[in-house]
Amino acid sequence: MQISTKFTLAIHILAAVEYFGKTEKVTSDFLASSIGSNPVIIRNLMSDLRNAGLIEIKRGPGGIAITRPLNQITFYDVYEAVEKNKEDLFRFHDNTNPLCPVGRNIHAALYDKLQDVQKEFEKSLQKRKLSDVISDLYREIKNAG
């Protein structure tokens, strides 16, 4: 599958902004510390989220803010914002043997089915909301003590 870690990193960014944003200045360095990643990677993802209209970045003492209610941000919104290789979720292996009847025809036999799976996957992402993650996150934090 073609989904990179960018999607889950972006969800982490949004969750951390929601959780910490009321009491702390959330910056790319702060987020990188929470995520365990390089601040440059975080800044690139923040730029993608900003370009998609999901966050605003306030220079200076402002930090980061989520621009919409959490229940109006779907997983698909985040996926669309950060994933660059969305055309085909599944990649075919290269160099099949053209002399083999399976190797020669597997792509044609499999392609439509994988496209259907991708469409269902995207529909499923549209049903999931950031607010669900945040609710679960607060519950997990509370239960962990």
Mean pLDDT by 10 residues, the chain (145 residues): 82 96 90 94 96 90 89 97 82 89 95 93 96 96 88
Write down the pTM of the prediction. Answer: 0.86
And the tokens for 76? 């698909």
Q: What local confidence, expressed as pLDDT, does residue 93 receive?
A: 84
pLDDT at 142: 93
Provide long-range contacts, Cβ within 8 A and 24+ apart, for 52-58: 52/77, 52/80, 52/81, 54/14, 54/78, 54/81, 55/13, 55/14, 55/17
Query: What local confidence, expressed as pLDDT, does residue 58 receive?
Result: 84
The helix (H) or strand (E) run that includes residue 33 is: helix 28-35
Return the pLDDT at 70: 97
3-class secondary structure, 128: coil
> In whole angstroms, what is the distance from residue 71 CA to residue 104 CA?
47
